[in-house]
Amino acid sequence: MKQPFFIALFFLSFSANAQELFAVTEPASTRPAGSIGFRFDHLVMNEINSSKINYHLIPEIMIGVSKKLTVTGNVFLSNRTDKFSGEGGSVYARYRFLSHDAVQRHFRMAAFGRVSRNNSDIHQEEINMNGHNSGFETGVVATQLLRKVALSSSVSILKAADNGKGNKFIYGSENSKAVNYTFSIGKLMLPKEYTDYRQTNINLMAEFITQVNTGSGKYYMDIAPSVQMIFNSQSRVDIGYRAELSSTLLRTAPTGFFIRLEHTFFNAFK
Amino acid sequence: MKKILLLIAIVFSVATHAQVSKVSLQASGLTCSMCSNSIHKALKTLDFVHEVDADIKTYTFEISFKPNTDIDFDLIRKKVENAGFSVVSFVATIAFNNVQVINNHPVTIAGKSFLFVNMKEPSLDGAKRVKILDKGFVSPKEYKRNAFPISSPHTYYASL
């Protein structure tokens, strides 16, 4: 399994790419100080062994608290139970602690953490702080920007707790911890040359997300290709597909489409 | 009466002695237009800034100023940093009127102290492009190479 993965990475690093505003992971760069961004994530996932489509809506507010600190808050809504309803929310923070900037390039590192609360029933061994489990996630991310290409990688630890409304983490406390590894690559495709802020930017991205459960040793590995359009240097639309490459973890709906709509208000506060 | 007029003339001549007409800065750490736009919008919030003309291709921002305002170089730099990026080049166009300059001796221009290094001419006259060499105004590499002792705020190491 490992070999094809690294061959895929090697190949990708020379062909398909994108900038660093990734669709599944976050880069080490933080948001501009004083900015407020709004994001609407739509996930349309196929439930395994059923004809059901799980729709998740995650509205999020993102605040550039300072040049080094971004704080976000989101709520989780889905139709996974009988009717479309709110299931919980999370608070996330990212602190950029290293920056080496040069013209058209940078290397940056950041630490991040997320605390989640979720009331839905626990139905899979995969631990997911963005819409499935209560608990926390913390890690570090490093991002390298080289002209039109961005590479980013993160490592984080996750600890699932019991969900709200009496929904226990049913796989045992020894299996409630996991490590996530991500690798993202992106490339600016258009415009070939910048002349105006109103030019639409098109980025292509490929992301790999891997989780290893520290108790059971079970894992999953996903790939998420996406295309991103940035309008007016202020609004963005990402359209992507997330697919499972390999997994030994029990998962209910690992594959599906996602659409992200986002708008940033610069200098919204001092 | 003549004395008073003379005094006014002297005061006036000192005040208009030299003026910062514009600043051209280059930002680093970015390639996307969204990043450039965040710098552009941040610079425009400064009350002494009249206009910001961005060259997205070279990541260069030409800043012009409102007349009779106090132009703060450090605030300009901080706006770029708060947008999430760094300044690698900061060049102020200053109109001089026969200002005597000695290497490493502070000279006050438009309310700011400048320590000129590598000066070849004894005086400055006319519009000159003055490059600021302090930390945060050049790349960390260039700053390290110059190895200046740390100066006080509003005193800038500069070269032509």
B160 by DSSP, 3-state: which? coil
For the cut 50, the answer to whether the pLDDT of residue A7 exceeds it is no
Q: How far apart are CA A264 and CA A61, in angstroms?
A: 10
Q: Do B82 and A34 touch (CB under 8 A)?
A: yes
Of the candidates B31, B88, B139, which has its C-beta nearest A188's C-beta? B31
Q: What's the whole-number mean pLDDT along residues A191-201?
A: 87
Q: What is the DSSP letter of B38?
A: H
> Apex CA A36: angle with CA A33 and CA A41, to 5°?
130
CA A215 vs CA A70, A158, A267: distances in Å: 32, 12, 45
Size of interface A-B (CB pairs under 8 A): 93
Nearest to A156 by CA among A219, A109, A126, A114: A114
Share of chain A above pLDDT 90, in %: 76
Phi, psi of A15 (to 5 degrees): -120, -95
The per-residue pLDDT for A19 is: 65
Q: Do B29 and A105 touch (CB under 8 A)?
A: yes
Beta bridge partners of A81: none
Of the candidates A21, A101, A266, which has its C-beta nearest B85's C-beta? A101
The per-residue pLDDT for B151 is: 66
Q: How far is B106 from chain A (nearest CA, A)?
A: 30
Q: Do A102 and B81 touch (CB under 8 A)?
A: no
Residue that the structure tokens 């490493």 belong to: B104
Q: How far apart are CA A171 and CA A19, in angstroms?
A: 38
Q: How far apart are CA A163 and CA A143, in angstroms?
A: 33
For the cut 50, the answer to whether the pLDDT of residue A18 exceeds it is no
- What secondary structure does DSSP assign to A1-26, as a single string? -HHHHHHHHHHHTTSS-B-S--SSS-
Which residues lie below 8 Å from residue A69, measured CB to CB, with a gap of 6+? Answer: A30, A93, A94, A95, A96
Structure confidence at residue B112 as a pLDDT band (50, 70, 90): confident
Q: How far apart are CA A234 and CA A32, in angstroms?
A: 12
Structure tokens at B115: 């320590």
> Apex CA A87: angle with CA A81 and CA A93, to 5°?
145
The per-residue pLDDT for A8 is: 44
Nearest to A142 by CA among A269, A4, A25, A267: A25
Share of chain A above pLDDT 70, in %: 93
* The length of chain A, given as a count of residues: 270
Of the candidates A21, A32, A193, which has its C-beta nearest B38's C-beta? A32
Q: Do A101 and B81 touch (CB under 8 A)?
A: no
Cβ of residue A145 closer than 8 Å to a chain B Cβ:
yes
A154 neighbors A16 (Cβ within 8 angstroms): no
For the cut 50, the answer to whether the pLDDT of residue A54 exceeds it is yes
End-to-end CA gap in chain A: 50
Q: How far is A117 from chain B (nearest CA, A)?
A: 30
Cβ of residue B142 closer than 8 Å to a chain A Cβ:
no
Q: Do B31 and A30 touch (CB under 8 A)?
A: no
Structure tokens at A225: 């290709």
User: Torsion-angle region of residue B84: left (phi > 0), alpha (psi -120 to 50) or beta?
Assistant: left
A94 neighbors A64 (Cβ within 8 angstroms): no
Q: How far apart are CA A170 and CA A160, in angstroms?
A: 11
Q: What's the whole-number mean pLDDT along residues B77-82?
A: 94
The per-residue pLDDT for A10 is: 40
Of the candidates B37, B83, B84, which has its C-beta nearest A197's C-beta? B37
Q: Do A148 and B31 touch (CB under 8 A)?
A: yes
Structure confidence at residue A11 as a pLDDT band (50, 70, 90): very low
For the cut 50, the answer to whether the pLDDT of residue A151 exceeds it is yes
The per-residue pLDDT for A9 is: 42
Q: Do B37 and A21 touch (CB under 8 A)?
A: no
Q: Note the pLDDT tens digit of each residue in A202-242.
A: 999 999 999 999 999 999 999 999 999 999 888 999 999 99
Q: Do B82 and A197 touch (CB under 8 A)?
A: no
In chain A, residues with a C-beta closer than 8 Å to the C-beta of B79 are none
Cβ of residue B26 closer than 8 Å to a chain A Cβ:
yes
Instruction: Record the pTM.
Output: 0.84
- Name the more confident of B1 and B100: B100
The per-residue pLDDT for B17 is: 58
What does the radius of gyration of chain A's CA atoms come to, in whole angstroms? 18
A257 neighbors A240 (Cβ within 8 angstroms): yes
In chain A, residues with a C-beta closer than 8 Å to the C-beta of B32 are 19, 21, 188, 201, 230
Nearest to B20 by CA among B132, B136, B137, B130: B130
Q: How far is B139 from chain A (nearest CA, A)?
A: 7
Q: How far apart are CA B97 and CA B122, in angstroms?
A: 13
The sheet with strand B60-65 has its strands ordered as B49-55, B60-65, B19-28, B86-100, B123-132, B155-159, B112-116, B106-109
Cβ of residue B47 closer than 8 Å to a chain A Cβ:
no
Q: What's the whole-number mean pLDDT along residues A64-92?
A: 93
Give chain A's mean pLDDT.
90
Q: Which helix (H) or strand (E) holds B40?
A: helix B33-44
Q: Note the pLDDT tens digit of each residue in A88-146.
A: 999 999 999 999 988 888 999 999 999 999 999 999 999 999 999 999 999 999 999 99
Nearest to A258 by CA among A53, A34, A33: A53
Nearest CA in chain A to B41: A266
Q: B44: exposed, middle or buried (C-beta count within 10 Å: 0-12, 13-18, 19+)?
A: middle
The per-residue pLDDT for A21 is: 86
The per-residue pLDDT for B101 is: 84
The per-residue pLDDT for B4 is: 52
The per-residue pLDDT for B10 is: 40
CA A133 vs CA A52, A92, A180, A262: distances in Å: 21, 14, 15, 24
Mark which residues 59-88 of B lie under 8 Å from A by CB: 59, 81-86, 88
Q: What's the whole-number mean pLDDT along residues B19-42?
A: 89
Share of chain B above pLDDT 70, in %: 86
Q: What's the whole-number mean pLDDT along residues A197-206?
A: 91
Q: Where are the beta strands (DSSP E) in A103-234?
A: 105-118, 134-146, 149-161, 177-190, 201-213, 219-231
